[in-house]
């Protein structure tokens, strides 16, 4: 059998039992069974069991297991069992959270799966690329990631970039003719295309010859361990945790040594030292952050923002600039033709050009598919008396020079009586450049007309043509010269209503919205005014040509103040992003085309369009807008800020609680008190009293003023924004409260067990108060209604309930080493707890004022 590249198109079609009309549903079912899914193998997803087992790899849990073992050996079986139950409970909570996060992320991945257009049963249909089978006919266009290996059937100016496969970054021009040589490498198989490479230019169709692991890329693909990328915050926390472990271990050793010196029983001392470590280390922190990010990502998808890279959730909250394409994102992408003016006597030819000079496809129900500008133009021609069949019979499209955003025009070739006609349309200035010298006098008037339309916010296209005696070998740019003017069309694309509100919101949130468009400056400014990106009459637009004149330094100066860019090419978008970033800005940039990938990658948040975006743009993006809507970016930023705030609240809560416990245990002996908390109390406080409210805090709703604050500084330190003083202050206040209570208890002559039960209860109450207090980072606890977070409310009730059970139920008392609190002791405890809570709130008030 000949390899695919040696076969003619007919041989290839026959070989795969297919035809230009594609496969039939029956074929497909059998083939799918035979060849399986068109997927590259990925590393196994974590199973439930792995997730569960992983919970036990935590250092903390290992310490606890050690503690349990020692308790059993020393005959303290009750302690041993209780510790085991606590370990299990902790692992279960961790498991459920991680499992849910994992599930949410997997769902997000599935949502960003690639789709591809196939011809089956003579119909163009979009399908999931994983469903492709050998024999399928796939339609390729610029920006596609090629979904399988295939033999090309038709090409028009098709070029691919095969760096993923061959390492060669230059694009390869493709053809359809068979190649005679033998044993040639994929890089030289010019009539074949390969999975995972990119269509950088033109269009074509291919016959699928290999899918999944049978493709060239499948053969060389090594399984990459998809280790999720860590966010800056996670990395900083990791370093912080490592440093903390060292400090805490040293403290534990010191504590143990000092206890031995005081002649305390060594087993209790040892267990207390271990529980001190448990109390001081914020073990839940990294997991909770991943979970908060994953939950945030699932909430965002409900608002149509699909996160592809988890760190984006965190970055979103710090965005200072949103650079957005106009068409489809700021506007509806519902182009309609407002005006058409033909050149004299060219009415009919212009109508034909409107209908034929494009890459619009008709589906089975005669619905027009394709670029919205082109669809609008073709529809206009149909509404004005042309039929597609008639036009195509008289002037079939024999060749296409596709639209390209640098050239800003496209050309089609058609038979014209015995000759050929080249129809060209494009941006007015670009077409004016191609007109014959005969137009040197009238050109300016035409461009003037264009400007008048543009000022009304219209997208203007010029049409031109030339008659050729013979059919050119291939269409090249050189043919687009010496043309005759054919007419002009003006289209309107109404702004999206909701965008105006979103833009106002950006402004109050300290985020600058910037419009970037391929349209001409006057059109761009007219639309920018309507969207309130600029005030009426006050704007100038920076054009691509201007940008080329500027040095990098000058551009950096400019970018800060410019709100509208016009006639900008994808390469210039990259320059704009870089310049803004050098100015210390965090930039979200939208894009849809294949050439947008570099700027999407460079941006802090690359945003691809879900509906109109190319595969390549989606692949490069951090986030995909499922509805292509600018307002969705703003919603995602709001959610991003909310998540960052939540994480900050959680860090504040956990670290201040831990510090409080640490100080109490560490300093009580130094102050001459009896051991204030037993190991079992410490474990309970740490895992239940701290743990449950901590989880509930991640369900905290958005604070109302979140979009009225400026973005957080991009390089903000983990403990910035007054977090560190708050942690220290809260921790110290907690410790002081405990010492005061113990002092009261001692002076009233209470036995040690009662003292301990009081401190145990006190810390439980204060932690819950602290959970309430951190709900707002800068406002008083009274300003946030408790009913906005029912989970936290529930947790508080349950935790207080449990605490009372531990203290008052007789059979639990020996297990948890408590004793019933007499009324007076309970009263003292509650009074000290409330005083401490008020002090924490006042501390918040003071730190916020000091920073302002």
Query: Which residues are tagged catalytic?
Result: 325
Q: Tell me which residue has tokens 């049963």.
A: 121
Query: Which range binds ligand ATP by CB under 6 A, 281-289, 291-299, 517-525, 622-630?
Result: 517-525
Distance in angstroms (rounded) separating the CA atoms of residues 454 and 460 = 7
- Residue whose Cβ sits closest to ligand ATP: 518
Distance in angstroms (rounded) separating the CA atoms of residues 849 and 852 = 5
Dihedral angle of Cα 224, 225, 227, 228, to the nearest 10 degrees: 60
**CB of 376 vs ligand ATP, minimal distance in Å:** 10
Q: Is 531 in the site for ligand ATP (CB under 6 A)?
A: no
Distance in angstroms (rounded) separating the CA atoms of residues 637 and 624 = 13
Q: Which of residues 147-166 bind ligand ATP (CB under 6 A)?
A: none
* Cβ-based neighbours of 365, under 8 Å, separated by 6 or more: none
Of the pair 275, 373, the CB lying nearest ligand ATP is at 373
Maximum separation of any 2 CA atoms in the chain, in Å: 116
Q: Phi and psi dihedrals of 588, rounded to 5?
A: -100, 130
Query: Which range binds ligand ATP by CB under 6 A, 424-432, 580-588, 707-715, 739-747?
Result: 424-432
Quick note: the x/- pattern for ligand ATP over 186-205, rule CB under 6 A, is: --------------------
DSSP string, 30-74: HHHHHH--S----PPPPPHHHHHHHGGGSHHHHHHHHHHHHHHHT
Closest CA to 304 of 685, 632, 690, 741: 632
Distance in angstroms (rounded) separating the CA atoms of residues 307 and 605 = 10
Q: Which of residues 458-477 bind ligand ATP (CB under 6 A)?
A: 459, 461
**CB of 478 vs ligand ATP, minimal distance in Å:** 18
Q: Is 613 in the site for ligand ATP (CB under 6 A)?
A: no
Distance in angstroms (rounded) separating the CA atoms of residues 564 and 576 = 12
Query: Which range binds ligand ATP by CB under 6 A, 269-277, 285-293, 513-521, 841-849?
Result: 513-521
Among residues 427, 600, 651, 772, which is the contact residue for ligand ATP, using CB under 6 A?
A: 427
Among residues 195, 352, 425, 844, which is the contact residue for ligand ATP, using CB under 6 A?
A: 425
Query: Which range binds ligand ATP by CB under 6 A, 24-32, 324-332, 379-387, 654-662?
Result: 324-332
Contact in structure between 496 and 331 (CB atoms under 8 Å):
yes
Q: Tell me which residue has tokens 């074509």.
A: 204
Query: Which range binds ligand ATP by CB under 6 A, 420-428, 661-669, 778-786, 793-801?
Result: 420-428
Q: Is 405 in the site for ligand ATP (CB under 6 A)?
A: yes
Of the pair 87, 330, the CB lying nearest ligand ATP is at 330
Q: Is 426 in the site for ligand ATP (CB under 6 A)?
A: yes
Q: Is 533 in the site for ligand ATP (CB under 6 A)?
A: no
Contact in structure between 558 and 551 (CB atoms under 8 Å):
no
Distance in angstroms (rounded) separating the CA atoms of residues 81 and 72 = 8
Query: Which range binds ligand ATP by CB under 6 A, 1-9, 260-268, 321-329, 788-796?
Result: 321-329
Residue 198: its H or E element: strand 198-210
Q: Is 272 in the site for ligand ATP (CB under 6 A)?
A: no
Of the pair 147, 518, the CB lying nearest ligand ATP is at 518
Contact in structure between 201 and 28 (CB atoms under 8 Å):
no
* Cβ-based neighbours of 448, under 8 Å, separated by 6 or more: none
Among residues 190, 308, 326, 414, which is the contact residue for ligand ATP, using CB under 6 A?
A: 326
Of the pair 6, 405, the CB lying nearest ligand ATP is at 405
**CB of 785 vs ligand ATP, minimal distance in Å:** 43
Q: Which of residues 432-461 bind ligand ATP (CB under 6 A)?
A: 459, 461
Of the pair 381, 795, the CB lying nearest ligand ATP is at 381
SS3 of the chain: helix, strand, coil, percent, to 5: 55, 15, 30
**CB of 729 vs ligand ATP, minimal distance in Å:** 51
Number of residues that bind ligand ATP (CB under 6 A): 19
Q: What residues are paired with 324 via a beta bridge?
A: 515
Of the pair 403, 453, the CB lying nearest ligand ATP is at 403
Pairing of the two strands 149-161 and 198-210: antiparallel
Among residues 102, 136, 519, 596, which is the contact residue for ligand ATP, using CB under 6 A?
A: 519
Q: Is 408 in the site for ligand ATP (CB under 6 A)?
A: yes
Query: Which range binds ligand ATP by CB under 6 A, 408-416, 499-507, 540-548, 578-586?
Result: 408-416
Of the pair 375, 784, the CB lying nearest ligand ATP is at 375
Distance in angstroms (rounded) separating the CA atoms of residues 362 and 798 = 62
Distance in angstroms (rounded) separating the CA atoms of residues 684 and 757 = 12
**CB of 415 vs ligand ATP, minimal distance in Å:** 21
Among residues 134, 218, 518, 694, which is the contact residue for ligand ATP, using CB under 6 A?
A: 518
Distance in angstroms (rounded) separating the CA atoms of residues 555 and 548 = 9
First to last CA, the chain: 79
Of the pair 401, 685, the CB lying nearest ligand ATP is at 401
**CB of 373 vs ligand ATP, minimal distance in Å:** 5
**CB of 23 vs ligand ATP, minimal distance in Å:** 31
Is the sign of the CA dihedral 165, 168, 172, 174 positive or negative?
negative
Of the pair 446, 692, the CB lying nearest ligand ATP is at 446
Distance in angstroms (rounded) separating the CA atoms of residues 808 and 825 = 13
Q: Is 596 in the site for ligand ATP (CB under 6 A)?
A: no
Distance in angstroms (rounded) separating the CA atoms of residues 325 and 612 = 12
Of the pair 456, 778, the CB lying nearest ligand ATP is at 456
- Integer CA distances (angstroms), 103 to 298, 305, 312, in order: 10, 18, 18
Of the pair 76, 141, the CB lying nearest ligand ATP is at 141
Distance in angstroms (rounded) separating the CA atoms of residues 575 and 591 = 14
Structure tokens at 786: 């408790």
Is the sign of the CA dihedral 611, 613, 617, 619 positive or negative?
positive
- Burial class for 674, CB neighbours closer than 10 Å (0-12, 13-18, 19+): middle
Q: Is 816 in the site for ligand ATP (CB under 6 A)?
A: no
Q: Which of residues 359-378 bind ligand ATP (CB under 6 A)?
A: 371, 373-374
Distance in angstroms (rounded) separating the CA atoms of residues 142 and 203 = 6
Query: Which range binds ligand ATP by CB under 6 A, 50-58, 405-413, 546-554, 685-693?
Result: 405-413
Of the pair 233, 502, the CB lying nearest ligand ATP is at 502
Q: Is 409 in the site for ligand ATP (CB under 6 A)?
A: yes
Q: Is 325 in the site for ligand ATP (CB under 6 A)?
A: yes
- Give the binding site for ligand ATP (CB under 6 A): 325-327, 371, 373-374, 403, 405, 408-410, 425-427, 459, 461, 517-519
């Amino acid at each position: 059998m000949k390899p695919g590249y040696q076969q003619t198109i007919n041989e290839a079609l026959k070989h795969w039992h297919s035809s230009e009309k594609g496969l039939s549903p029956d074929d497909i079912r059998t083939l799918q069974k035979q060849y399986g899914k068109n997927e590259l193998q990925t590393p196994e997803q974590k199973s439930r069991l792995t997730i569960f087992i992983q919970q036990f790899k935590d250092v903390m849990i290992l310490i606890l297991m050690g503690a349990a073992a020692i308790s059993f050996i020393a005959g303290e079986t009750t302690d041993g069992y209780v510790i085991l139950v606590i370990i299990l409970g902790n692992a279960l909570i961790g498991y459920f959270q991680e499992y849910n996060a994992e599930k949410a992320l997997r769902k997000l991945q599935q949502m960003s799966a690639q789709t591809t257009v196939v011809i089956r049963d003579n119909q163009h249909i979009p399908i999931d690329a994983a469903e492709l089978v050998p024999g399928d006919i796939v339609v390729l266009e610029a920006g596609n990631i090629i979904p399988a290996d295939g033999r090309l059937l038709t090409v028009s100016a098709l070029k691919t970039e095969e760096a993923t496969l061959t390492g060669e970054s230059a694009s390869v021009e493709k053809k359809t003719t068979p190649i005679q040589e033998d044993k040639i490498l994929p890089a030289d198989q010019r009539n074949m295309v390969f999975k995972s490479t990119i269509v950088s230019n033109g269009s074509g169709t291919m016959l699928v010859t290999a899918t999944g692991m049978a493709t060239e890329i499948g053969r060389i693909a090594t399984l990459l361990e998809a280790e999720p990328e860590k966010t800056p915050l996670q990395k900083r926390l990791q370093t912080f945790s490592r440093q903390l472990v060292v400090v805490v271990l040293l403290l534990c050793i010191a504590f143990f040594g000092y206890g031995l010196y005081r002649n305390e029983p060594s087993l209790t001392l040892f267990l207390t030292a271990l529980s001190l470590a448990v109390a001081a280390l914020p073990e839940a922190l990294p997991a909770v952050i991943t979970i908060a990010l994953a939950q945030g990502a699932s909430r965002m998808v409900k608002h149509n923002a699909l996160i592809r890279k988890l760190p984006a959730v965190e970055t979103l909250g710090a965005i200072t600039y949103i650079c957005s394409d106009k068409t489809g994102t700021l506007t509806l992408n519902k182009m309609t033709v407002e005006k058409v003016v033909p050149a004299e006597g060219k009415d009919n030819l212009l109508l034909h050009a409107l209908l034929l000079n494009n890459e619009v496809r008709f589906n089975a129900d005669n619905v027009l598919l394709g670029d919205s500008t082109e669809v609008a133009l073709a529809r206009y021609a149909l509404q004005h008396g042309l039929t597609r069949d008639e036009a195509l019979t008289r002037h079939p499209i024999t060749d296409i020079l596709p639209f390209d955003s640098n050239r800003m025009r496209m050309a089609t070739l058609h038979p014209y009586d015995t000759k050929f006609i080249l129809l060209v349309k494009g941006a007015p200035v670009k077409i004016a450049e191609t007109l014959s010298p005969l137009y040197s006098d009238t050109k300016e008037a035409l461009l003037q007309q264009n400007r008048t339309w543009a000022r009304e916010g219209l997208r203007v296209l010029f049409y031109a043509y030339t008659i050729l005696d013979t059919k050119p070998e291939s269409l090249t740019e050189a043919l687009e010269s010496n043309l005759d003017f054919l007419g002009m069309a003006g289209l309107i694309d109404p702004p999206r209503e909701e965008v105006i509100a979103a833009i106002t919101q950006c402004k109050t949130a300290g985020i600058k919205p910037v419009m970037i468009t391929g349209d001409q400056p006057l059109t761009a400014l007219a639309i920018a005014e309507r969207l309130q990106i600029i005030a009426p009459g006050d704007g100038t637009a920076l054009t691509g040509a201007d940008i080329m004149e500027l040095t990098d330094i000058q551009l950096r100066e400019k970018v800060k103040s410019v709100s509208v860019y016009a006639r900008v090419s994808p390469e210039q978008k990259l320059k704009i992003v870089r310049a803004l970033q050098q100015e210390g800005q965090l930039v979200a940039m939208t894009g849809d085309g294949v050439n947008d990938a570099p700027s999407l990658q460079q941006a802090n948040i690359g945003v691809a369009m879900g509906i109109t975006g190319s595969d390549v743009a989606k692949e490069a993006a951090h986030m995909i807008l499922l509805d292509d809507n600018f307002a969705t970016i703003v919603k995602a930023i709001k959610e991003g800020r909310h998540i960052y705030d939540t994480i900050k609240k959680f860090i504040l809560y956990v670290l201040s609680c831990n510090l409080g416990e640490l100080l109490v245990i560490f300093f009580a002996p130094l102050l001459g008190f009896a051991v204030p908390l037993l190991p079992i109390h410490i474990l309970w406080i740490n895992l239940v009293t701290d743990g449950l409210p901590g989880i509930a805090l991640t369900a905290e709703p958005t604070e109302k003023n979140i979009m009225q604050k400026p973005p957080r500084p991009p390089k903000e330190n983990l403990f910035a924004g007054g977090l560190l003083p708050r942690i220290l202050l809260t921790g110290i206040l907690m410790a002081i409260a405990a010492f005061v209570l113990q002092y009261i208890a001692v002076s009233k002559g209470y036995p040690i067990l009662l003292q301990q039960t009081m401190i145990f209860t006190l810390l439980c109450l204060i932690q819950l108060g602290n959970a309430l207090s951190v709900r707002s980072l800068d406002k008083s606890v009274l300003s946030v209604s408790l009913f906005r977070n029912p989970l936290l409310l529930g947790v508080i009730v349950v935790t207080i309930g449990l605490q009372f059970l531990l203290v008052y139920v007789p059979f639990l008392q020996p297990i948890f080493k408590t004793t019933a609190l007499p009324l007076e002791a309970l009263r003292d405890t509650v009074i000290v707890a409330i005083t401490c809570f008020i002090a924490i709130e006042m501390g918040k008030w003071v730190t916020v004022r000091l920073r302002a």
